[in-house]
Amino acid sequence: MFMTAPGAYAMTDMPDSASDSTDDARQPAGVVGTDFAFAVYTQLAQLHRDVGALSMGHTKLEAQIKDVEVRVNDRTRESELRLTEFIRESEIRMSESRRESEMRITEFCRGSEQRMTERMDRLETNLSNRMTELDTRLSGSMWELDTRLSGSMRELDTRLSGSMRELDTRLTSSVKELDTRLTSSMKELDTQLTGRMVVTEDGLSKLKDAVNRVLWTGGGIAIVVGALFGWKSVWQWISTDFGV
């Protein structure tokens, strides 16, 4: 702005080549040089003013730049302080949250352990009670079974004793009856043999001895066979063979 106006002024002060040629020719040379010097001086003064204005603008710009740098530094320090404070508060909150979480976890673990201990105690108590009840039931059942077995064994022993006595009585009577029948049969046979044939006294004695041996042997065999196979079977065999 300041350069264009004086320039324009200087250009307006300078004579035109076409229109004012006659005027310049008529004006003296000193007047023309004075005007030109004044125009140059005016231009130089304007240049000095512009340079001064630029210097002042540069100074103001440097001051503004310094002010901006100061404000930026202040804001940077303030931001750093705020960030540091925020980080410190975050660390404090994180530490408190961690401690609170650890306390909660510890309390939860303690409660879980206590509940598990109580459950194990109740389970052990229930198992002990059930085992005691089962032992009592088994003891009663074993005692009842022992009593029943003892009664059954005594009853079986009584029945076997009665059966053995009855069998002994029957065997004794059967043996006696068999002995009587054999004796009568032998007597009848002896009579028949005596009447039918004449034998010597020695032959008769030998025959009696043989018959006695047969009787004793047969009786022993009958007793053994009766003891082994039952007197009923022996009696049926004797009845079948001898027609008793």
Instruction: Please count the structural domains in the chain.
Output: 1
**Identity at 187, one-letter amino acid code:** K
Residue 180 maps to a domain = yes
Task: In whole angstroms, give the CA distance from residue 187 to residue 201.
Answer: 17
Q: Is residue 101 a part of any domain in this protein?
A: no
Which residue range forms the structural domain that includes residue 180?
166-242
- The answer to the question of residue 58 being in a domain is no
Within a domain: residue 23? no
Q: What is the pLDDT along the chain (244 residues), one digit of tens a residue?
A: 334 434 433 333 444 444 444 444 444 555 556 887 878 878 888 887 888 788 887 888 888 888 888 888 888 888 889 899 989 988 998 888 888 888 988 888 888 888 888 888 888 888 888 888 888 888 877 888 878 878 887 887 788 777 778 877 887 887 778 778 778 877 777 777 666 665 556 666 776 777 777 777 766 666 666 666 665 665 666 666 555 5
Strands (E), 87-233: none
User: In sequence order, what DSSP letters do the residues of 88-104 get, joined into one string?
Assistant: HHHHHHHHHHHHHHHHH
Q: Is residue 17 part of a domain?
A: no
Residue 184 lies in a domain: yes
Task: Round to whole Å and give the CA distance between 41 and 136.
Answer: 138
- Do the Cβ atoms of 226 and 177 come closer than 8 Å? no
pTM, rounded to two decimals: 0.29
